[in-house]
Homo-oligomer: A and B are copies of this chain.
């Protein structure tokens, strides 16, 4: 490899000061654009590797943003992450992504690692049971936290999520409007704020329509396509014979429709099914999925903006921001036969 290229080597070769070279490599606005480009080209030509670890000890920003969610491979989070990525990309931030799989401990390890690396901020969809002090661990050490998709009680940091009770009521009312009376709810859990809000929204919509709420029509648990597929067996053997299902999310709905088809019935005709989220995949499913738009791109964009604002010292974004969901009516729901 030969000897290490130093800042002074670059500076000497261009007839500039070492300080100018150092500022340029840190993208300081004090250096003119043309000069900065010239310095960077020369640095690259000489094989210079800018040591950000050493540099970040001297400057206040590391350029590292952490993002931790239940599972980045879930398309719901993937769509949020894509929006965050696109919003922050031009700021040359480095993302560190991690899954917590709803382990509070895994999530805390991630926050500690971020602090160790000098992370600038963290965007998180908090794990089930996240204590207030784990958010404070980040905040108190000068690393702002932004919450997405789920809330933590009594935490004043910027929080962006859909209005779940309102959204699920849209889906439930749509089915009631089509004449359905025996409507099951498939998936979700009371352990998350999202799960509680969606079940409440479903219950309230039924009550408003004077339909008796039957707790046995709830099949809690499923959150994935595979689990939705497997839940079809339970769903189809319910003694009440539901004619429709309000599903936890699009993945569960698509899985359930596949399970219904596997049992020889036609989803959308024999059984109406609604999803939640309006993933890219919803519109091309068979049948195309009636669902609730949940604003993933909006949540990601606003969370990223809020973090940038916090880093610039603004507290304007603090508090809960609810995205208002919208109904998307397609082929997976039809009037009661």
Known: A51-B116, A54-B57, A117-B117. A255 touches B284 (CB 8 A): yes
Q: A140-160 toward B: CB 8 Å interface, digit per residue (1/0)?
A: 111000000000000000000
Residue of B nearest to A93 (CB): B113
- Does chain B have a CB within 8 A of A46? no
Determine the main DSSP class of A at the interface with B. helix
Residue of B nearest to A50 (CB): B116
B281 with A262: CB separation less than 8 A: no
Least Cβ–Cβ distance between A280 and chain B, in angstroms: 6
- Does chain B have a CB within 8 A of A56? yes
Least Cβ–Cβ distance between A117 and chain B, in angstroms: 6
Residue of B nearest to A1 (CB): B140
Q: A163-184 toward B: CB 8 Å interface, digit per residue (1/0)?
A: 0000000000000000000000
Residue of B nearest to A116 (CB): B52
B281 with A225: CB separation less than 8 A: yes
Question: Of B50, B95, B99, which one neighbours A98 at CB under 8 angstroms?
Answer: B95
Q: Point out the residues of chain B lying under 8 angstroms from A57, CB to CB.
A: 53-54, 57
Q: Point out the residues of chain B lying under 8 angstroms from A319, CB to CB.
A: none
Known: A49-B116, A117-B117. A284 touches B99 (CB 8 A): no
- Does chain B have a CB within 8 A of A226? yes
Residue of B nearest to A25 (CB): B116
B280 with A261: CB separation less than 8 A: no
Least Cβ–Cβ distance between A54 and chain B, in angstroms: 6
Q: Point out the residues of chain B lying under 8 angstroms from A14, CB to CB.
A: none
Q: Point out the residues of chain B lying under 8 angstroms from A202, CB to CB.
A: none
Q: Point out the residues of chain B lying under 8 angstroms from A51, CB to CB.
A: 116, 118
9 CB < 8 A contacts A-B:
A1-B140, A1-B142, A49-B116, A52-B117, A72-B72, A72-B73, A72-B78, A73-B78, A257-B286
Query: What would 12 more interface pairs be, CB under 8 Å, given A72-B78, A73-B73, A94-B117?
Result: A49-B115, A52-B117, A53-B53, A53-B56, A53-B116, A64-B117, A72-B73, A94-B113, A95-B97, A97-B97, A229-B284, A286-B286
Closest CB pairs A-B (n = 6): A52-B116, A73-B78, A229-B284, A261-B286, A97-B97, A258-B286
